[in-house]
């Protein structure tokens, strides 16, 4: 989950701006929980999978 669209219940501001202590604490918690692939867009992830599949197919045909 990304926090760029979350709204704080304490100050009604965007969590990513960190206006109050609650925002800052939640922003830090969410930042620590993010996986390495969380910042990659779905299109980039799909392109990476397609590139890996192409490399696999090329290697498979070269060895056959």
Rounded to two decimals, what is the model's pTM?
0.46
Break the chain into its structural domains and give their ranges: 1-33, 39-64
Task: Determine the Cα–Cα distance for residues 55 and 61; give it in Å rounded to an integer.
Answer: 10
Tell me the per-residue pLDDT of 5-63, one tens digit each, with 9 for 90 and over: 788 888 988 888 888 998 888 888 877 776 766 677 889 989 999 999 999 999 999 88
Q: 31-34 long-range contacts, Cβ below 8 Å, gap at least 24?
A: 31/3, 34/2
């Amino acid at each position: 989950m990304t926090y760029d669209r979350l709204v704080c219940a304490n100050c009604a501001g965007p969590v990513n701006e960190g206006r109050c202590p609650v925002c800052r604490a939640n922003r830090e918690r969410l930042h620590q929980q993010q996986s390495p692939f969380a910042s990659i867009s779905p299109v980039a992830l799909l392109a990476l999978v397609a590139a890996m599949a192409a490399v696999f197919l090329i290697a498979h045909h070269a060895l056959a």
